[in-house]
């Protein structure tokens, strides 16, 4: 058949050249004149080009196939939620979906026919029409503009209407609805308010409607106090204390004398308030600057560099408070990295009250620190390998990593001391150990334990199948699955500890873990990863850098970071470990990654990853945060897998 087709294309009948076959009787048979028996390519035809159905209905798709020999027919599809059945014994074959779910919208269904000659296929997209469903509506937060975040599902696209205290909200250049992310039938966005005042306080209702129905949800919004509440009508007590001849009431406004009296009261009252405010301000300026840590609350402003989300972010009492954009003026420093502080009554920042009252930061003499070589440079200073003397009683000197602070401003120094007290309280076998500080002269120095093999990402790549040959011609030993599980178990143990301390990491990745001797792994970040691994971060608005490839949908869409978002990142870390340090979604651009994650797609199972481990990853990547595995559950599952037979775990290797 191949030769015949070739001949028909290359040599038209007008030409004399021909191909022949010789039969058992030594006769020539022209390929052009005699058909080849039992040799026909399959051909597939679907009964419809557009498969459209209303949610809850039943629909059947038919596929007719021709070819010789008769082809076999198969239906191929992904992730259909609804109950379905197929019949491929008949021609045409049928595929029936019962009680169609809205979650099936957009799924592609293939009919494939195959015989000994070849195969053919045809596909159709399933479109499901359904009534709107508001899946998310939260209290507003400040991010450039104030934003009331929402998520709505519906097909066709619902019309969105807002009510403010029951009355229709007329959108304008100051208040408008903005859709940030669209996923066919899902719409994620904000009601954006530009500099709202007390007038905008109240109850907001989102109404989503299309021809199949409507849904609505409410949220209360509070932006600022009503200034009129502080300067209302005088109370009876005040009126009783005034002279009767000069008494002014709200109803007695008919003559000019009373009007003058009102003017005097208002002017005098405002003047008194201004004077009082100036006195209080002078007192704060005088005494505040001599305080060791300043006022209780978020630390002082640092305005030099605007780096990405901090590696360690303290959420008091495990609050699920969303983060503001990282460009805001109020920030605290952890790990020499700037953290935004949202204006939210639930968020307490890192205050002195969160530190143990007996916190003692060890001070190390500068002459006891001998720098050896530079390890790298981050946004806030350089990191060096050094020898430190008289640090441990049992050793004369030990190798350490020292981090310097290049910004010597008063605010930076305050935050340096606050961070030192914070790190002193963070003590765990799988968190990089903090020894102390050196504050004699400049630069200010923090001293950490030295992890011999550097960051985990480089370590994984060096011990993977794609590692380059070493100078001596020997490749480093490739990590086994048992060793990978051992690494994962240690990181999970460190995250269990951070969660118990109500810390949210916000940037958990293999680049921010360090490897010591005997495959000891600890969580730690010297603030260099945003420079060394710049392609792992997505720059937003010129300043903010976000590790979107490690972030769940709610963190990408709403800047919401919680212990549950750390669980998502831990799942990505597991994927990194079992791919020997590959970048998640390495084949996609940052914008494509955002689209994939917000549409609900997840990373594929690594080739050498056991099914049990991939199931654990999927448990970390549930779209709804409350549906994800608990951090303690993850640690327990990894422990059990690590104890399992190596033969059983390595069977797919």
Highest CATH level, class, for 138-221: mainly beta
Looking only at the bridges linking them, the beta strands covering 503-504 and 434-438 are: unpaired
449 is in an annotated binding site: yes
* Structure confidence at residue 471 as a pLDDT band (50, 70, 90): very low
376 is in an annotated binding site: yes
Provide the pLDDT for residue 227: 58
Most confident of 291-295, 406-410, 434-438, 485-489: 485-489
Query: What's CA 500's distance to the chain center, in Å?
Result: 21
The Cα-based distances of 444 to 479, 551, 557, 601 in angstroms read 39, 33, 38, 45
| DSSP track, 615-626 | HHHHHHT-SSGG
Domain 40-127 matching CATH 2.60.40.10: the answer reads yes
The strand pairing partners of 21, in sequence order, are 29
511 is in an annotated binding site: yes
512 is in an annotated binding site: yes
Q: Is 455-644 in the same CATH topology as 40-127?
A: no
Q: What distance, in Å, lies between the first and last C-alpha atoms of the chain? A: 42
Neighbouring residues of 231: CB distance < 8 A, sequence distance ≥ 6 = 269
* Structure confidence at residue 417 as a pLDDT band (50, 70, 90): confident
Highest CATH level, class, for 366-450: alpha beta
Q: Is the pLDDT of residue 275 over 60?
A: no
Q: Which residue has the tokens 């104030």?
A: 146
Alpha-helix runs per DSSP H in 453-552:
456-462, 481-500, 529-532
378 is in an annotated binding site: yes
260 is in an annotated binding site: no
Q: Which of these, 598, 568, 572, lies nearest to 585 by C-alpha position? A: 572
Q: CB atoms < 10 A from the CB of 71, how many? A: 24
615 is in an annotated binding site: no
pLDDT single digits (tens) 34-78: 777 778 889 999 998 888 999 999 999 999 999 988 999 999 887
User: To 10 degrees, the CA torsion angle through 143, 145, 146, 150?
Assistant: -80
Q: Higher model confidence: residue 75 or residue 537?
A: 75
Report the pLDDT averaged over residues 579-603. Answer: 90
Domain boundaries, the chain: 1-30, 40-127, 138-221, 366-450, 455-644
Cα distance between residue 503 and residue 501, in whole Å: 6
CATH number for the region 455-644 comes to 1.10.510.10
* Structure confidence at residue 296 as a pLDDT band (50, 70, 90): very low
Looking only at the bridges linking them, the beta strands covering 186-193 and 175-183 are: antiparallel
pLDDT single digits (tens) 215-241: 999 999 988 776 555 434 333 333 333
Percent of the residues in the chain that have a pLDDT greater than 70, as a whole number: 73
Q: Is the pLDDT of residue 101 over 70?
A: yes
Q: Return the minimum-mean-pLDDT range out of 223-237, 261-275, 420-434, 547-561.
A: 261-275
522 is in an annotated binding site: no
515 is in an annotated binding site: no
Q: Is the pTM for the entire model greater than 0.75?
A: no
Question: Which active-site residues does the annotation give?
Answer: 507
Q: Which residue has the tokens 């709202």?
A: 196
Q: CB atoms < 10 A from the CB of 99, how many? A: 12
451 is in an annotated binding site: yes
């Amino acid at each position: 058949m191949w030769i015949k087709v070739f001949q028909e294309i290359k040599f038209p009948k007008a030409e004399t050249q021909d191909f022949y076959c010789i039969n058992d009787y030594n006769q020539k048979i022209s390929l052009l004149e005699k058909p080849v028996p039992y040799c026909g390519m399959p051909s597939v035809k679907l009964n419809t080009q557009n498969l459209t159905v209303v949610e809850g209905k039943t629909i059947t798709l038919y596929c007719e196939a021709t070819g010789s020999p008769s082809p076999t027919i198969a239906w191929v599809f992904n992730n259909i939620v609804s109950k379905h059945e197929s019949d491929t014994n008949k021609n045409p074959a049928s595929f029936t979906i019962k009680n169609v779910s809205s979650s099936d919208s957009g799924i592609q269904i293939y009919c494939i026919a195959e015989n000994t000659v070849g195969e053919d296929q045809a596909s159709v997209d399933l479109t499901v029409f359904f009534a709107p469903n508001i899946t998310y509506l939260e209290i507003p937060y400040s991010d450039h503009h104030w934003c009331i975040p929402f998520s709505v599902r519906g097909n066709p696209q619902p019309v969105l209407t807002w009510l403010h205290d029951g009355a229709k909200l007329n959108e304008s250049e100051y208040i408008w609805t903005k859709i940030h992310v669209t996923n066919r039938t899902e719409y994620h966005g904000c009601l954006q308010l530009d500099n709202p005042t007390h007038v905008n306080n109240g109850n907001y209702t989102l109404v989503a409607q299309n021809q199949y129905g409507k849904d609505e949800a409410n949220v209360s919004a509070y932006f600022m106090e009503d200034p009129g509440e502080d300067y209302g009508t005088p109370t009876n007590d005040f009126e009783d204390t005034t002279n009767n001849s000069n008494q002014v009431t709200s109803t007695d406004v008919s003559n000019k004398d009373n009007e003058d009296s009102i003017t005097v009261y208002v002017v005098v009252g405002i003047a008194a308030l201004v004077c009082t405010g100036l006195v209080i301000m002078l007192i704060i300026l005088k005494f505040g600057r001599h305080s060791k840590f300043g006022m209780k609350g978020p630390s002082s402003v640092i305005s030099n560099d605007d780096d990405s989300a901090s590696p360690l972010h303290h959420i008091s009492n495990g609050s699920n408070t969303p983060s503001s954009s990282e460009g805001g003026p109020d920030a605290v420093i952890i790990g020499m990295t700037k953290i935004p502080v949202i204006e939210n009554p639930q968020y307490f920042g890192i205050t002195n009250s969160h530190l143990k009252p007996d916190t003692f930061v060890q001070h190390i003499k500068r002459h006891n620190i001998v720098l050896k070589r530079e390890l790298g440079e981050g946004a806030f200073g350089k990191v060096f390998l050094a020898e430190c003397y008289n640090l441990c009683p049992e050793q004369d000197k030990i190798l350490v990593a020292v981090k310097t602070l290049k910004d010597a401003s008063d605010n930076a120094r305050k935050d340096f001391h606050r961070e030192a007290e914070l790190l002193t309280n963070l003590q765990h076998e799988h968190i990089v150990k903090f020894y102390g500080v050196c504050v004699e002269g400049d630069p200010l120095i923090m001293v950490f334990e030295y992890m011999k093999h550097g960051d985990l990402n480089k370590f994984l790549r060096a011990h993977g199948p794609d590692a380059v040959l070493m100078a001596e011609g020997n490749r480093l030993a490739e990590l086994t699955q048992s060793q990978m599980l051992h690494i994962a178990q240690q990181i999970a143990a460190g995250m269990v500890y951070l969660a118990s301390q109500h810390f949210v990491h916000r940037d958990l990745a293999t680049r921010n873990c360090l490897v010591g001797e005997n495959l000891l792994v600890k969580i730690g970040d010297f603030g260099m990863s945003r420079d060394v691994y710049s392609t792992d971060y997505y720059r937003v608005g010129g300043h903010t850098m976000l590790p979107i490839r490690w972030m769940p949908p709610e963190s990408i869409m709403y800047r919401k970071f919680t212990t549950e978002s750390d669980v998502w990142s831990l799942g990505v870390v597991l994927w990194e470990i079992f791919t020997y340090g590959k970048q998640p979604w390495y084949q996609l651009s940052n914008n494509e990654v955002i689209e994939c994650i917000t549409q609900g797609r997840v990373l594929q199972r690594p080739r050498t990853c056991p099914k049990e481990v991939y199931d654990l990853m999927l448990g970390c990547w549930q779209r709804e945060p409350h549906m994800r595995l608990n951090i303690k559950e993850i640690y327990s599952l990894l422990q059990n897998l690590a104890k399992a037979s190596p033969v059983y775990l390595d069977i797919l290797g």
